[in-house]
Structure 1
Amino acid sequence: MTEWFARAILAVTDVEASLRFYIDQLGFSSPWRFDDDGRALVAQVERQGTALILAHNWPDQVGKGLIFISLNVEPETPDALATALDELRSEFESKGVVVKNGRWGYRLLVVEDPDGNQLLFNYAADNEPGKSA
């Protein structure tokens, strides 16, 4: 059986600036980058199973990325997921990241990178304020 591995590509204006944001503020690491003339043109960032490519190659696509990221938590309950996302929100905000609330049929935690690409983290559908599980 063949397994697939996917990495989303986010178009950014400045790979160096994006690397600083993803590493310093979102807690990603960067296993590799491609430099030309001392300037980063492409780099990968990773965190807990999520891998993203930051690339300067498509200026007409800058800021148009939407990445949906699901957290796998143990135990797999709506309350555990909500707690994990609340902790993630606190971590991001403590590092100066603006975190927004969103909706897509359920609550989302939304983070925009410096170019406007969005990372969407989902809460469990039945963990809505005012709704019982």
Structure 2
Amino acid sequence: MPIEKDKWYTRPVFSVASVQKSLSYYRDLLGFTQSWKYDEAGEVLVAQVSRGDFELILASNLDRKGQGRVFISLTESETSRFKEMIESMHITYEEIYWGYPSIKLQDPDGNELIFPQETED
């Protein structure tokens, strides 16, 4: 009987100063959808956003804010469309080299989203 591989379900967590401000960045600028949120006394403490199959938890934590980094692999055409979108919205990004050309975005707290631009050659 073949052994079935484990299916891992992962969600990175970015620590942020204000979940509400981060929600605006991810939803309103990057086109993410808010999946859920948890608040106390009217303050959002934790929320999840998603786009495609990528899910990201945003958690209020001043001590760790801005220390997150995630690599998001898209197809070549998806990467091109995403780059066109962020350029049309004047979202600041940086072209970096991380073993291959990549696009790096930083959210308002300094957490990094890195999109490798892998080619088929």
Mark yes or no: TM-score above 0.5.
yes
- Aligned twin of 1:117: 111
> What SS is found at the alignment partner of 2:110?
coil
- Structure 1 unpaired stretches of 5+: 74-80, 128-132
Residues matched between the structures, number: 117
- Aligned twin of 2:73: 70
- Aligned twin of 2:42: 38
> What SS is found at the alignment partner of 2:108?
coil
Question: What's the CA shift for 1:7?
Answer: 0.3
1:48 pairs with 52, 67, 77, which one?
52
User: How far apart, in 2, do the equivalents of 1:102 and 1:36 lie?
Assistant: 39
Percent identical? 37
Q: Is the 8 A contact 1:89 1:99 kept in 2?
A: no
- Aligned twin of 1:86: 80
User: Over aligned residue pairs, what C-alpha RMSD do you find?
Assistant: 1.5
- Aligned twin of 2:93: 99
- Aligned twin of 2:19: 15
Q: Give me the TM-score of the superposition, normalised by structure 2.
A: 0.90
